[in-house]
Amino acid sequence: MAVKKIIAVVGATGAQGGSLVRAIINDPNGGFSARAITRNVDSDKAKELAKLGAEVVAADVDDVESLKRAFAGAFGAYCVTFFFEHFSPEKEIAQATAMATAAKDDGLQHVIWSTFEDTRKWVPLSDNRMPTLMGKYKVAHFDAKAEANEVFSELGVPTTFLRTSFYWENLIYFGQGPKKGPDGKLAITFPMGDKKIPGIAAEDIGKCAYGIFKKGREFIGKTVGIAGEHLTGAQMAEALSKALGQEVGYNDVSPEVYRAFGFPGAEDLGNMFQFKRDFEQDYCGARNPDVARGLNPSLQTFAGWLAQHKSRIPLE
């Protein structure tokens, strides 16, 4: 039997990494095997991945030596950082640098770096249409990831730069699901006007990433954007209404109002949605669902995702 190419997956117990581990395991004849990286090999989620057939290995993205050990002998790696655990763009850059360094040191042949646009190319810091955050960012969790692109390139790591989209799971876990307004009616709230948000089922991110590893060399050095579907807030509300069997409205607020919501990261997300709104063509254009479907033929639409997950959306 041919030796399988090992893909070391950072964030394996999370959304992006977990979906890639499952995609690899669900294709036993695909020629790849999954090495799931976690800080705690004894957690329930880590044990679940081991049960599915992943090799589970400990490493911390704050510790480059642990990453070198975890990437050793692998063919490739999936690299992702976790902005919403610490809200520090500098930490994201340091963690991405550690992953790129380990990938270089271990001679990996294909790395996927989960990244975004540098929004400052569209909205320079001097542009006051949105506030500058932390002194040097417009959308910190985008700009920092984009800065880290250069680290992978400068170290000569064979990298595919993967631009992901808004997870529809945010409606379940991230407090972005329908909420009752003062009128007692359910509504989703985004500062998007009538512009479209590229969205995706988190599980499809890993399937697309797996498609990139399978296609291999043609994607090295390339930037690939993925989405399941591009939908306006009103279209999302309509699909939610149909799926939930009760009316869900779309509450269009201004980015200023969104930034002032006060939850952790609200300013960054307010700027992010404003960027998506004001540069809809560029942002949607960089995330073609047909490209994603080419990588992952089972790519879900929002309605398809809702049919499976609607009961998990918390309703007040």
Q: Does 62 bind ligand NAP (CB under 6 A)?
A: yes
Nearest to 264 by CA among 144, 146, 133: 133
Only segment of 102-110, 163-171, 213-221, 286-294 that touches ligand NAP (CB under 6 A):
163-171
Only segment of 69-77, 146-154, 159-167, 239-247 that touches ligand NAP (CB under 6 A):
159-167
Q: Does 167 bind ligand NAP (CB under 6 A)?
A: yes
Q: Does 136 bind ligand NAP (CB under 6 A)?
A: no
Which of 26, 27, 28, 40: binder of ligand NAP (CB under 6 A)? 40
User: Which residue number, 21 or 80, has a Cβ lying nearer to ligand NAP?
Assistant: 80
Which of 160, 164, 189, 271: binder of ligand NAP (CB under 6 A)? 164
Instruction: Please work out the total of residues on this chain that contact ligand NAP, with binding judged by CB under 6 A.
Output: 26
> How far apart are CB 246 and ligand NAP at their closest, in Å?
24
Q: Does 170 bind ligand NAP (CB under 6 A)?
A: yes
Q: Does 163 bind ligand NAP (CB under 6 A)?
A: no
Only segment of 10-18, 48-56, 130-138, 209-217 that touches ligand NAP (CB under 6 A):
10-18
- In order of 190, 195, 231, 251, the CA distances from 281 in angstroms are 18, 9, 13, 22
Helix (H, G, I), strand (E, B) or coil at 29: coil
> How far apart are CB 144 and ligand NAP at their closest, in Å?
9
9, containing H or E segment: strand 5-9
Contact 233, 273 (CB under 8 A): no
Only segment of 9-17, 182-190, 220-228, 288-296 that touches ligand NAP (CB under 6 A):
9-17
Tokens of 273: 């949605």
The gap between the terminal CA atoms of the chain, to the nearest Å, is: 54
Taking the C-alpha atoms of residue 253 and residue 190, their distance in angstroms, rounded to an integer, is 6
Rg (CA), the chain: 19
Taking the C-alpha atoms of residue 186 and residue 175, their distance in angstroms, rounded to an integer, is 13
User: Which residue number, 216 or 223, has a Cβ lying nearer to ligand NAP?
Assistant: 223
Residue in this structure with the two tokens 């190319």, named with its chain if needed: 121
- In order of 25, 33, 166, the CA distances from 62 in angstroms are 27, 25, 26
Residue in this structure with the two tokens 């990286």, named with its chain if needed: 37
- Given the rule CB under 6 A, which residues bind ligand NAP? 11, 13-17, 38-40, 43, 46, 60-62, 80-85, 141, 164, 166-167, 170, 174
